[in-house]
Amino acid sequence: MADSRPRKKIKKGHSFYQIRNRVNKHQDLVSRTVENLYSDEWITFCFVKLIRCNAAYSCCFSKAWCVTKRNLDETDESKRAIVRFPSLFDVNLVKQFMNDTDDIESRITDSQLTAFKRLADFLDTIDETERVLKAWMHSAKKESVWATVLAVHVLRKLAVFNEMTIDSDYGYKQKECPCSCGTHINFGDNSIGHKDVWHGSLDILLGPVAVKVAPSDDESSEKSNSAFELETGELEECRNQLISQCITFSYLQNAGLIPLVSLSEHSLKIFLFDPKSDMLYESLELDIFDEFGHISLTAIIVLWLVINHAVFCTGVKDSHEKLGYTSDFKSLVQEENPVLPVYEKDLHRSGLKHVNSTVWKYTALYNIHNHDNLFSLDVFDAE
């Protein structure tokens, strides 16, 4: 969580203004996008409650299920609030950086300045990146190939901590990016969790960020030990696996509000979970490309802030906790089969690819969701 870690301050100097000027070459586009984060009803989060789940038993992610309810579906209108992006991420810092206001140069940190440099680098080459993405989106026969290109040319380029590892059981197996750019691909054991509870592999680890890719219909039928195996290629329909991975990864990180980025061929969705407050957030799906077929700058800015959550995330607000819409994950795992200490103390990385689950693959009976009537809701803005 960004506000809980000591940060090294940078010295005033040429690098600050050089990077700011590079970002400001794209000021009109970035400014409009940032302002949209304050007002666009579709760039928001809701709260999620777990009604039932199988997190208290030995279960791989591909067999995880959760019966959930979003706070937007509550009959009690006081619970039906949405969370705007600036309520969780320091969007105001971006505005201050671009306008050089409020003595921002003396307050910005090394990691934040590096993040702005990553953004400037990306924006300067966005046309070439778009060309590569479009070429591979239409020619890649497997979602794993397209996702690898997206990870190399977008996610990794935007990240401050850009060491990327693709799971060794993932669908893409080559040592270099499929687009022939020559970027080396690191493979490894991305499995996390514990044999007695939820466990399995994360498709991509990018520093302190987990990335999950929804396969196409053809790929979802292929057998694999990777967590890449999902029920369908639609992000809305693979929420069970996404939620289980987000919660497990957050407990493993034990560092406040932790995101999981989920991707399909055309869209992305963000989940965030904070073990301490037991708060689970879910975003609406965002299109990766806009209506004109260009890379959506909104999606890029959202990904940039989320991937660099360690320097931009401001954490769970008191007002969010006061709403009282916790995930109830803690109480569920204690009631079913007291294993909360396993999540809190015993989770680990690697060595969990071939653990035999003791729970059959149940299908959740229902997931309660309805995003109608968004415009009449209470809103948590930046605080």
**Residue 138's pLDDT band (cuts 50, 70, 90):** confident
The residues that bridge with 263 in the sheet, in sequence order, are 213, 268
More confident residue, 35 or 42: 35
pLDDT of residue 360: 47
Question: If you average pLDDT over every residue of the chain, what do you get?
Answer: 85
Check if the beta carbon of residue 46 is closer than 8 Å to that of residue 72: yes
pLDDT of residue 202: 95
**Residue 368's pLDDT band (cuts 50, 70, 90):** very low
Among 23-37, 235-249, 297-311, which is the least confidently predicted range? 235-249
pLDDT in tens, 160-208: 998 999 999 887 778 899 898 999 999 999 999 999 999 999 999 998 9
Mean pLDDT confidence for 37-44? 89
Among 111-115, 262-266, 332-336, 369-373, which is the least confidently predicted range? 369-373
**Residue 52's pLDDT band (cuts 50, 70, 90):** very high
pLDDT in tens, 140-155: 667 788 889 999 999 9
**Residue 215's pLDDT band (cuts 50, 70, 90):** low
Check if the beta carbon of residue 106 is closer than 8 Å to that of residue 9: yes
3-class secondary structure per residue, the chain: CHHHCCCCECCCCHHHHHHHHHHHCCHHHHHHHHHHHHHCCCCEEEEEEEEEECCCCCEEHHHCCEEEEEHHHCCCHHHCEEEEHHHCECHHHHHHHHHCCCCHHHHCEHHHHHHHHHHHHHHHCHHHHHHHHHHHHHHCCCHHHHHHHHHHHHHHHHCCCCCEEEECCCCCCCCECCCCCCCECEEECCEEECCCCEEEECCEEECCEEEEECCCHHHHCCCCCCCCCCCCCCHHHHHHHHHHHHHHHHHHHCCCCEEEEEECCCEEEEEEEECCCCEEEEECCEECECCCCCECHHHHHHHHHHHCHHHHECCCCHHHHHHCCCCCHHHHHHHHCCCHHHHHHHCEECCCCCCCCCCCCCCCCCCECCCCCHHHCEEECCC
